[in-house]
Amino acid sequence: MPPRLRVTSVTIGTPRPRELARFYSRLLGWPLTADDGPAPGEPAEAGWAQIRAPEGEPGYTLSFEYERHFARPVWPGEAGEQTASEHLDIQVDDLPAGVEWAVGCGAELAGFQPQDDVRVLLDPDGHPFCLFL
């Protein structure tokens, strides 16, 4: 019998982990639970950060890890370009209001929208995420 395995968090690679954590903290209304500066010899924007769903609310932990050689993903994917291998799906009660909020937080509406009831947005580092009803 295999051991019990549970996914508890998702780590997102970024050239600006603390800044991206603050973006998602504002977007989701989740508290920043870790905000570590760069290690010796790393640039000022390096470090590690984390947000979590508020106590009593469902949700995973999102961690943001410094990637020295980060390449902004292209979405939708194109041959020969850096692609986004994962993305976050975020449920909203009101899709137009959710898009407006996300854009106000610093997201960008993607140029290509494959579904009428889903909106693809890009975070400040280009990672796609989807808002859906």
CATH label, 8-70, candidates 3.30.930.10, 3.30.720.120, 1.10.10.10, 1.20.1250.20? 3.30.720.120
Q: What is the pLDDT of residues 92-125, one digit of tens each?
A: 999 999 999 999 999 999 999 999 999 999 999 9
How much is the pLDDT for 36?
Answer: 97
What CA–CA distance (Å, rounded) separates 29 from 32? 9
- What's the mean pLDDT in 13-27? 97
Given this model, what pLDDT does residue 83 score?
82
CB atoms within 10 A of CB 52: 20
- Supply the pTM of this predicted model: 0.93
pLDDT of residue 82: 87
CATH architecture, range 71-133: Roll (3.10)
